[in-house]
Amino acid sequence: MTLHERIETQRGRLTKTDRALLDTLLSSPEDAVHWSGDDLAGHAGSHPAAATRLAQKLGFEGYPHLREELRQERREAQKPLRGAGDRMRAELAEHQTGTVLDTFLRAEVESLAAVAECVEQTRLDGIADAIAAADTVHVFARGNASVLTELVERRLRRFGVRVVVLDGDGRELAERLTALTAQDLVLAFAFRRPPRLLTGLLAHAAAVGARSVLVTDTLHTLDPAPDVLVAARRSDRDGFSSLTVPMAVTNALVLTLAHRHPDRTLPALDRLDSLLRTFE
C-alpha cells in the first residue's frame, strides 16, 4: 500500500495536527526525506511526538518507516520512464495467452473495481461544491490526458459553468492565467510524471488564492502540492495504460455536481435544450 493509499484509508481519523504534518511533509518531499520526526513537527508547528503518532496511525511502526516509504516513492518516481515503444512491447508480451480484448478488459475491470478503495465519494462531493462555487474553472492537461480536458469542458459548459482550457505553450498559459483569481478553481490531470508547466500552475494558483485539484494515478508528492488530490491507479501493468479509470472518476465527478446542485445544473440543461431547438 502506498503512502497516499494509507492516507486515504485513514482520512476520516486524521486530526487537524495530522493534516498539518502531512501538508508539510508532502509539500516539501525533497527536504522531508531528510527530516527527523522532530524536524517535521517543528516545521508544522506541532508537538515533537505528533510525527510518531501520525506514522503509527498510518500503519507504520514509527516515523522513520514513514520517511523511508516517502523516500522509496520518490526514488521510484525519479526512475527514467520507458519510452512508448518499450511500454508497447511490455503490453504485447501480456497478450501471449488469450485474446487482446480479454486481457485488456480483465485489467480494466480490475482497475475500475479498485477505484472505490482509494477515491471517497466525500472527496468528489467537496470538489463538486468547489466547482459550483467557482467563478471560472481552469482545466489543465498535457499529452494523452488532454482528452479529459475536452470531456470536462463540454460537460461543465452544459451545466452553465464558465470554463477556460489552459492549453498552449508557456506564454499562452501565462496569458490565460492573468485572469485567475481567488474565486476560481484549477482542475488538472496528470499521469506518470508531472508535465513541465504543472508545478508553475499550482504555485500560481496558491499565490492568488485559487483552489487546485489534481486527478492523477501515481503523483502523490508534488511540490507545491494541490489543495485536493484524487489518485486512482490506472492499472498495475508496465505497458499500455488507458484513460478508462480517470475518465470514470471524471464522469463520477460530473454526476456528483449534477446530484448536489440540481438547481443550477438542470435549468442550464433546459436552456441548452431550448437553444438546440432554436439552432436546429
Considering the domain architecture, whether residues 271 and 225 belong to the same structural domain is answered as yes
Considering the domain architecture, whether residues 123 and 163 belong to the same structural domain is answered as yes
66: containing domain: 3-77
The vertex-257 CA angle with 256 and 258, nearest 5°, equals 90
Considering the domain architecture, whether residues 68 and 29 belong to the same structural domain is answered as yes
The counts of H helices and E strands in the chain are 14, 5
Which triple of cell numbers denotes residue 229?
Answer: 488530490
Q: Write down the residue that cell numbers 486530526 correspond to.
A: 15
For 219-244, the pLDDT digits (tens) are 766 778 899 999 888 865 555 678 99
Please spell the DSSP secondary structure of 70-118, one letter per residue.
HHHHHHHHTSPPPPHHHHHHHHHHTTSSS-HHHHHHHHHHHHHHHHHHH
Q: Using pLDDT thresholds of 50, 70 and 90, give the confidence band for residue 81.
A: very low
pTM score of the predicted model: 0.68
Structural domain total, the chain: 2
Residue ending a domain, choose from 28, 44, 77: 77
Encode burial over 191-216: b for 16+ CB neighbours within 10 A, e otherwise: bbebbebbeebbebbbeeebbbbbbb
Residue ending a domain, choose from 30, 46, 77: 77
Number of other residues whose CB lies within 10 A of the CB of residue 51: 29
Do you find a cis peptide bond into 194, omega within 30 degrees of 0? no
Considering the domain architecture, whether residues 126 and 57 belong to the same structural domain is answered as no
Asked whether the beta carbons of 193 and 81 are under 8 A apart, the reply is yes
- On whether residue 249 sits in a domain, the answer given is yes
For 158-216, the pLDDT digits (tens) are 999 999 999 988 899 999 999 999 999 999 999 877 888 999 999 999 999 999 999 99
Considering the domain architecture, whether residues 136 and 207 belong to the same structural domain is answered as yes
Nearest to 45 by CA among 69, 20, 12: 20
Give the amino acid at 178. Answer: T
